[in-house]
């Protein structure tokens, strides 16, 4: 299995765990086109989720958005966007992990980023 999509699946799991722990919503925003349109080739990935977000439960406003590049693209990786902050992190696969500026993205770092995004939007 492709290490990028294995790491992506792990990140999605962390997002789901964060949503449960903090009482926010985990939202699947988009699936890979192959999964939607059932193209001739089979989707050989551990998930069909291409984009997911974390949102406030009361009004569905997103505060953190994550997306992965589709198979076959040249610049492969994961993008994390903090909504309304004009901040995004481009993570790339390295040794089976997603890395940003030489540091691996961990569950703890993701939780810290999501907490900061929530505070930034809602004080």
Residue 33, pLDDT score: 73
- 86 or 26, greater pLDDT: 26
Residue 74, pLDDT score: 86
Separation of alpha carbons 43 and 39, rounded Å? 9
Q: In what side-by-side order are the strands of the sheet with 78-82?
A: 25-31, 49-55, 62-68, 78-82, 87-94, 97-100, 103-104
CA distances from 25 to 9, 19, 40, 57, 87 (A): 17, 5, 34, 6, 21
Q: Residue 9 above 80 pLDDT?
A: yes
CATH code that applies to domain 3-122: 3.30.920.80
Residue 104, pLDDT score: 96
Residue 31, pLDDT score: 84
Separation of alpha carbons 34 and 41, rounded Å? 8
Tens of pLDDT, residues 24-82: 999 999 988 765 555 555 657 778 899 999 999 999 999 999 999 988 788 899 999 99
Domain definitions of the chain by residue range: 3-122
Residue 72, pLDDT score: 79
């Amino acid at each position: 299995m492709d290490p990028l999509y294995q790491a992506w699946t792990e990140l999605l799991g962390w997002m789901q765990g964060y949503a449960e722990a903090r009482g926010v919503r985990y939202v699947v925003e988009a699936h890979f086109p192959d999964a939607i349109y059932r193209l001739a080739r089979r989707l050989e990935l551990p998930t069909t989720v291409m984009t997911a977000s974390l949102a406030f439960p009361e009004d569905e406003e997103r505060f953190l958005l994550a997306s992965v590049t589709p198979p076959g693209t040249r610049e492969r990786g994961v993008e994390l966007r903090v909504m309304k902050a004009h901040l995004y992190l481009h993570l790339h696969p390295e040794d089976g992990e997603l890395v940003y500026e030489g540091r691996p993205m961990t569950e703890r770092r993701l939780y810290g980023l999501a907490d900061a995004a929530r505070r930034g939007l809602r004080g």
